[in-house]
Structure 1
Amino acid sequence: MTPDRRHTLALLGAAAAGLMLGGAGEPPAPFVRRDGLALRRGDAPYRIVGANLWYAAWLGADADYGDRARLGRELDRLRALGVGNLRIMASAEEGPLKHSIRPGFSRADGSANETLLAGLDFAMAEIAKRGMTAVLVLGNFWEWSGGFSTWLYRATGRYVDANDPAHPWPAFADSSAGFYANAGAVALYHAHVRRVVARRNGVTGRLYADDPAILSWQLANEPRPGGSDAMIARTADAYYDWIEATAKLIRGLDPGHLVSLGQEGTQATNGGEAMVLRAHRDVDYLTAHVWPLNWGWVDGGDLAGTWDRGSALSAAYVDAHARLAETLGKPLVIEEFGFPRDGETYAPGTSTTWRDRFYAMIQNRVEASWRAGGPIAGSNFWAWNGEARAAHGDHRFRDGDRAYMGDPPHEPQGWYGLFDSDASSLAQLRRHAARAGARHPPQ
């Protein structure tokens, strides 16, 4: 069949991005694979211009909390911006922790929520239709999706709630890190991993293991070995064992896809580079997250006055992890980077001057690595709010809210997320995508 002009342009645009888009009568695109310091798809480099869209499965659910029409609109917006990769949650556990999203992939009684799993199926089918890929996150160190603390609660009946004044930092992080050494909690988590990785998509009929729209399976969001130095030292061996065992489990179920850890980098290990190197031994590429406000590198009330220090520390953090990636001979993805709006406001329509500068600084480093043949495969900004708007004047998420944003339920709605009206930030993203060759022609 001779392709028409529009189809030919789409294929050319995909090839420029290192993608092979599958259409009717065409073979499926090959899986993304690791080749030394690079990610490749077929014979072309695979450069990630990505977004975090944790809530994709919730929008994809055929339920009162779902909104499939909105999911389609958001994916179309992102694709038009040149975004080709999404990092989404494929896990969430209902339990007693405050500010955890409900419903979850597993209910409070431990049973699987087939409706939300079907929402993941629908989301993956829509992502595949658009020639995009996804990183599927199979767990969470933090409370906003239940995560490790909820698996521990189910195994032991005990938990520590995040931000509880009776248990100040690092009590929650140390408690959550107890997950790795608890055989019962890890067994519950591994049962969820098996359920998802071995799943057949109910929309496409394709096994997830055969789906080229999956870029990688990710063990968890920001899995730390602890908060305190003492807990990190005590947990290290169990932490490494969990990484090794989970990576082996995933590859046994699906040998074709990449496996990633989801770690922040040295911020997760209280500065320990050796732990980062060891933690990434059994996975295919390194990850790093960059959060200058959360880490105290900038002051939200004085972004102008603290910008120089914050940007310098952020740049050094990226450079340090590129060096670690080269040491391991593996690619690096800056899979989370976030910055507040000017004045640390939350509402759409407020200015994003300093955020735009931060995005440009991260993306310029990514582009420099592309030009030099370095280890940075790309980046995913945190996160996409799209057309969603906060339902309440205090910008807080409440149980039952359906206007999901990139800002998860424990955070102010609009804190870090990118709205569809943030014109200057979107322009910056388009420029970056164009330089990656990831801008798809309109269809």
Structure 2
Amino acid sequence: MKRTITLAASLMMMHALPMDAAAANDKGAFVKVDRTHFVRGGQRYYIAGANFWYGAYLGAAGKVGDRARLVKELDTLKAAGINNVRVLAVSEKTDMPSAVRPATTAAPGQYDEDLLAGLDYLLAELAKRDMTAVIYLNNFWQWSGGMTQYLNWFEGTKALDPNITKDYEDYMAKTVRFYRNDQAQAEYRNVIRKIVQRVNTVTGKRYADDPAVMAWQLANEPRPGNARTTPEEKAVYVKWIADTAGYIHGLDANHLVSSGSEGLAGSAQDGELFMQAHRSKHIDYLTYHLWPKNWGWIDSKTVAATWDGALEKSRHYLNVHIDYAKKVGKPIVLEEFGMDRDNASFDIKAGTTVRDRFYGAVFDVITTRATKGEPIAGFNFWAWGGAGRAANPDYWWKEGNDLMGDPPQEEQGLYSVFDTDASTIALIRATAAKLKGLERK
């Protein structure tokens, strides 16, 4: 009888040990910050990533989703060396025509469970491939509803669509009221809590306990205002970043938190503001974005005449932000950059010569400075179009069309990297391999 009890106890211990080991492995699998670098599993960790904002949409089980395509996309990305995707957590229902449909949130507190389950499925599939996600929880821009839709709900003001008004300065000036609106902030925190504390219906894990999540991000490209941002608006913005990041860390002690900032372009061209916004103890790393065409540095139809100037400005922008990160003492990720196809075409058959030159120049800066041990912690290119294809002759998205890297505010094919873009994917794969090699040094 004693032997039976001993054997039973031994068997119980055998079953208990793997669970303990799994918990320990989970702890080691979280991405952490060690001074100016990411670490994971006891070694340095570099991001070789893609923007894949619609990943949760593909993961939905209903007619919106396409799980077979999602699996295919993740396999293709994994084969290209990608270890991280940057994805949208929620969208807000809006009347604005240039926003994605359907939305995760029909009204405050009203969620589409199919779309939330799509994020569950995405995270489960990422875990199978040892990939991680940066999940952003709001959007300064209108293409997912975003901050202007919150103001529509709680101020009663019209949600602004700059695709219609063509006045981005006015849009930015009005959208920053979001940071001051108490009701909007309360609902935003409800959403944060809903997502961060969610239990994954596929894996049974709380998101807050899931190593497949690398970081929570406050929003996509939050800005303090427009070109005439006031000192008061800057102060409100800095406080909002610190307070919101602190709130997230209070819910989740395992994951990193970042702002989603574009850098100087999203900080009223104020380097001190950019650094101040990221010095908060609650912000774990810096982010920045690079858009030479959007910022008027290059003309896609006269590349020869504008290339040299655009390249000089781009390299400076890339390098100065790494210098800012050194001053702040934290890692930085170039989490958006892109270039359109040759001759400003949206056609998937158009070449990618200029894009490949641009990607090559960007990757050269990243790998050169990373090799020196500087705080550039990786990249996320914008954006993965994968197997998606434009459906309409004018290249504008309509509900029911394939989702791809270009959100509904842009022509489909503008900046997407498709699964047939072999030369671009080869550049991405080679750069991912270089960064992976640095992890072992």
TM-score w.r.t. the length of structure 1 is: 0.91
Name the amino acid aligned to 2:173. Answer: D
Q: Judge conservation of contact 2:134–2:215 (CA < 8 Å) in 1.
A: yes
Question: What is the CA distance between 1:342 and its match in structure 2?
Answer: 0.8
1:277-426 to 2 correspondence within 5 Å?
277-282=275-280, 283-401=283-401, 403-426=402-425
> Structure 1 residues 395, 332: CA separation in 2 closer, same or farther (over 3 Å shift)?
same
Aligned counterparts of 1:307 and 1:221: Cα–Cα separation in 2: 28
Moved more, 132-141 or 23-32: 23-32
Letter in 1 for 2:274: V
Alignment of 1:28-43 (within 5 A): 28=26, 29-43=28-42
CA distance in 1, matches of 2:366, 2:128: 27
Superposition map of 1:71-220 within 5 A: 71-108=70-107, 110-163=109-162, 168-220=167-219
Q: Structure 2 residue aligned with 1:246, among 244, 247, 257?
A: 244
Equivalent AA in structure 1 for residue 348 of structure 2: P
- CA deviation vs aligned residue, 1:269-324 (integer Å, no higher than 9, x gap): 22101110111122011101000000000012112221111111011001110010
CA 26–253 in structure 1, closer or farther in 2 if over 3 Å, else same: closer
Contact 2:86–2:135, Cα closer than 8 Å, also in 1: yes
Q: C-alpha separation between the residues in 2 aligned to 1:197 and 1:131?
A: 20
Contact kept, 8 Å, 2:149 with 2:159, in 1: the verdict is: no
- Which stretch of structure 1 is more off in the superposition, 267-276 or 73-82? 267-276
What amino acid maps onto 2:403 in structure 1?
Answer: Y
Q: CA deviation at 1:26?
A: 9.3
CA contact (8 A) 2:224 2:234 kept: yes
Shift of the alpha carbon at 1:166?
5.1
Which residue is 2:16 aligned to?
none
Q: Structure 1 residue 269 and structure 2 residue 261: aligned?
A: no
- Identify the residue that residue 11 of structure 2 maps to in structure 1: none
Task: Tell me the distance in 1 between the aligned counterparts of 2:436 and 2:95.
Answer: 46
Structure-1 separation of matches of 2:165 and 2:382? 30
**Bigger shift: residues 117-126 or 91-100:** 91-100
After superposing the two structures, state which structure 1 stretch, 323-332 or 100-109, moved more: 100-109
Assess if the C-alpha contact under 8 Å between 1:90 and 1:138 holds in 2. yes
- The count of corresponding residues between Structure 1 and Structure 2 is 415
8 Å contact kept, 1:144–1:410? yes
**Offset, 1:97:** 2.3
RMSD of Structure 2 on Structure 1 (CA): 1.8
Letter in 2 for 1:423: A
Task: Give, in angstroms, the shift of residue 167 of structure 1.
Answer: 6.6
Q: CA separation of 1:232/1:201 partners in 2, compared to 1, >3 Å: closer, same or farther?
A: farther
Structure 1 residue 340 displacement after superposition: 0.8
CA shift, 1:24, in A, is: 9.2
How has the CA–CA distance of structure 1 residues 251 and 77 changed in structure 2, closer, same or farther, with 3 Å as cutoff?
Answer: same
- Cα deviation code 1:345-367 (max 9, x no counterpart): 01112111110011111111111
Question: What is the CA–CA distance in structure 2 between the aligned matches of 1:360 and 1:115, rounded to whole Å?
Answer: 39
Matched position secondary structure for 2:377: strand
- Matched letter for residue 265 of structure 1: G
String of CA shifts for 1:187-242, please: whole Å, max 9, x gaps. 1111100100011111000011111111100000000011131x443422221221
CA distance in 2, matches of 1:179, 1:415: 29
How far off is 1:157 after superposition?
Answer: 0.8
Report how far residue 436 of structure 1 moved.
1.9
Q: Any stretches of 5+ residues in structure 2 without a counterpart?
A: 1-20
Structure 2 length-normalised TM? 0.91
Aligned partner letter, 2:144: S
Offset at 1:172? 0.6
Report SS of the residue matched to 2:287: strand
Cα distance in 2, alignment partners of residues 85 and 105 from structure 1:
23
Change (3 A) 1:232 1:95: farther
Greater Cα radius of gyration, structure 1 or 2: 2
Question: For the structure 1 residues 339 and 205, does the alpha-carbon distance in structure 2 shift closer, same or farther, using more than 3 Å as the test?
Answer: same
Which stretch shifts more, 257-266 or 302-311? 302-311
Moved over 6 A (4+): 23-26
Deviation of 1:164 (Å): 5.8
Distance 1:44 1:228, change over 3 A: same
Task: Give distance in 2, aligned partners of 1:47 and 1:430.
Answer: 14
Do the aligned partners of 1:159 and 1:175 also contact (CA within 8 Å) in 2? no
Structure 1 contact 181–235 (Cα < 8 Å) conserved: no
**Paired residue secondary structure (1:437):** helix
- The structure with the largest helix share of the pair is 2
Give 1:32 shift.
Answer: 0.6
Partner-residue secondary structure (3-state), 2:390: coil
The answer (yes or no) to whether the contact 1:269–1:275 under 8 Å persists in 2 is: yes
Change (3 A) 1:398 1:232: farther
User: Are the counterparts in 1 of residues 152 and 159 from structure 2 also a CA contact under 8 Å?
Assistant: no
Q: 1:222 is matched with which residue?
A: 221
Give the distance between the partners of 1:333 and 1:54, measured in 2 at CA.
Answer: 17
Residue pair 1:98, 1:161 contacting (<8 A) in 2 also? no
Q: Tell me: CA distance 1:127–1:166, structure 2 relative to 1, closer, same or farther (3 Å).
A: closer
Letter in 1 for 2:277: A
Residue type at the aligned position of 2:419:
D
Is contact 2:87–2:136 with CA below 8 Å preserved after alignment? yes
Unpaired runs of at least 5, structure 1 = 1-22
| Equivalent position of 1:18 in the other structure | none
Q: Which amino acid aligns with 1:158?
A: T
Of 87-96 and 155-164, more deviation after overlay is shown by 155-164
CA shift, 1:111, in A, is 0.6
- Identical counterparts, % of pairs: 44
